[in-house]
Structure 1
């Protein structure tokens, strides 16, 4: 097997764990392309590559434009027919290379093979909201936490769409274009572990920026975009309704209408908070975090979606852009 492994990174400590895990199995048939997507100041300190991997590893300088652009830089510089994308925070199983070889021994109409992703969760308590969010990676389709593509398939569709600047929908959108171009995608037998990284209490607010990507996909693929890309249903309509109720409460010209809006906003916010608290550990800290962030999530998600919806008017899929 000859394969190029592309790893976009912002220099997280988990990168060292990934490289040390890969090192025992790397030989002349493998090249590793690390795409350093840090800012110029952070790049002053070079990435640390294990000595055992130095002969097989090339570090490319990304432009800080996000994982889609970084992966494009990586696969276009790769030498192999197959390009395996790994995130810098996964840990491959000990037999990952052996199973990868079998996964890539695929029929010629197979354009990509996804690895299996495990997300270890605590066994002594219920998972937090952030842990449950990360656990969704275990059932997500065609994600580049561990996804291998033929170079021919990537070239046929133009690679990743760099209009998606986050690690959110850029991989499932690419998979849709690859299948639309006539290639098959398969689930392989290799596995990686994706530990839950430590995050602060406001992580759920930061991830609302992903609503901008959803709005762009809606522009590109129409109202059935979730079915086309195999993306589970979201809460956008509920967020819109709660935000509309809040706006009504704030600007309604009459007190009865304002009170009705306030009641709708309070009910919607309470429903969201309870939906997030119920499956969690229900500690005072977690409950307080869910209560506070649930106040902000609907208007924040709506603002991101509307901004991108306006900015994305006229957007078309990458393979349709002349």
Structure 2
């Protein structure tokens, strides 16, 4: 079985552990290993047999395109640089692909996210754990090279690690290929993040606006993406803006009503995020603050994306 393994990276410390875990299986099965270094400057030397290619510094979609286009083999397995494969990952990868039927265009690995055993997970830990149930995520996803060629690979208009894998999976299936799940496994640890990570990730709403332009109102169903809270975020944001505008014009009654709608919406959002978590003072404070900031941030990024892609 001829397989190329493509790993885009920004130089996370986890890359070294990933490559060390891969090294025995790469040697045993003669896998081609391509590391796409998406940082500016010269790529660093590695301690394992791998080819390092410079990335275009335009996000993971563009980096993965560099990888599969340079691949020598019929199958291309994508791994994120923050996963840790099981010891038998390469053996199971080869078995997964050998068992794929002729019209199977891609085979997804199984992903586990370890959570703290002694407390409830934080909001960020729960978001990361959701990856374990994700459909066709490129944390561990192998595609036939011909399937990638037929659909043109990843859409580089999606610059973040957000939706670009689901969008590719839709186009591969739209070409008549099927996608399946294999038996190989990787672990995806929860990487440390700042308390503001949930606010920063709202930039992905601009990518959602592109997908809405491309695929219409049913884009979530087509791409197998769970429903979100955008409509509620927009309503809360409008209520807050109305409260400020009405107060500025001296209309206290309507301003108070709008303010109460904003407060109720924000409180409901914060409660939904606090309830399943550890509920310690730091987490509660973070949830209260970000729950007030996320709705306007999400709305702003959606509108920004909608305007950018208005001509589609």
1:66 aligns with 2:67: no
Paired residue for 1:212? 206
Alignment-derived partner of residue 281 in structure 2? 284
Q: Secondary structure at the match of 1:161?
A: coil
1:10 aligns with 2:10: yes
> Which of 69, 79, 86 is the aligned partner of 2:72?
79
Check whether the contact 1:115–1:188 (CA below 8 A) recurs between aligned residues: yes
Q: What RMSD, in angstroms, separates the aligned Cα atoms of the two structures?
A: 1.0
Distance in 1 between residues matched to 2:202 and 2:17, nearest whole Å:
29
CA distance in 1, matches of 2:5, 2:277: 36
Deviation (angstroms), 1:125: 0.1
Does the 8 A contact of 1:6 with 1:75 survive in 2? yes
CA contact (8 A) 1:219 1:314 kept: no
Q: Which whole-Å CA distance do the structure 2 matches of 1:96 and 1:170 have between them?
A: 24
Residue matched to 2:304? 307
Distance 1:227 1:78 in 2: 32
Distance 2:23 2:30 in 1: 13
Is 1:130–2:129 an aligned residue pair?
A: no
Structure 1 runs of 4+ with >6 Å offset: none
In structure 2, which of residues 77, 83, 86 is the aligned counterpart of residue 90 of structure 1? 83
Q: Answer yes or no: is the 8 Å Cα contact 1:245–1:264 preserved in 2.
A: yes
- 1:65-214 matches, within 5 Å, as 65-105=58-98, 106-214=100-208
| Unpaired segments ≥5 residues, structure 2 | none
User: Per-residue displacement from partner, 1:172-218 (whole Å, max 9, x unpaired)?
Assistant: 00000000010000011111000000011111111111111111111
**How far apart in 2 are the matches of 1:181 and 1:168?**
22
CA contact (8 A) 1:146 1:192 kept: yes
Alpha-carbon distance between aligned partners in 2 of 1:118 and 1:17, rounded to the nearest angstrom: 17
- Whole-angstrom CA distance in 2 between matches of 1:26 and 1:116: 19
Report the equivalent of 1:318: none
Deviates more, 1:200-209 or 1:251-260: 251-260
CA distance in 1, matches of 2:169, 2:273: 30
Equivalenced residue count is: 307
**TM-score normalised according to structure 2 size:** 0.97
Q: C-alpha distance in 2, partners of 1:82/1:68?
A: 18
CA contact (8 A) 1:3 1:81 kept: yes
Deviation, 1:48, is: 4.1
Instruction: Supply the distance in 2 between the matched residues of 1:107 and 1:131 (Cα, whole angstroms).
Output: 36
Give the stretch that moved more between structures: 281-290 or 26-35.
Answer: 26-35
Q: Deviations over 1:123-145 (max 9, x none)?
A: 10000000000001000000000
Whole-Å separation in 2 of the counterparts to 1:34 and 1:217: 28
Note the C-alpha offset of 1:38: 0.9
Partners in 2 of 1:312 and 1:188 — Cα distance?
36
**Alignment correspondent of 1:257:** 254
Residues 16 and 48 in structure 1, CA contact (< 8 A), matched pair in contact too: no
Q: Give the whole-Å Cα distance in 1 for the aligned partners of 2:135 and 2:24.
A: 29
User: Equivalent residue of 1:26, what SS?
Assistant: helix
Match of 1:30? 31
Q: Structure 1: which 5+ runs fail to align?
A: 316-322
Once the two structures are TM-superposed, the CA of residue 255 in structure 1 deviates from its matched residue by: 2.0
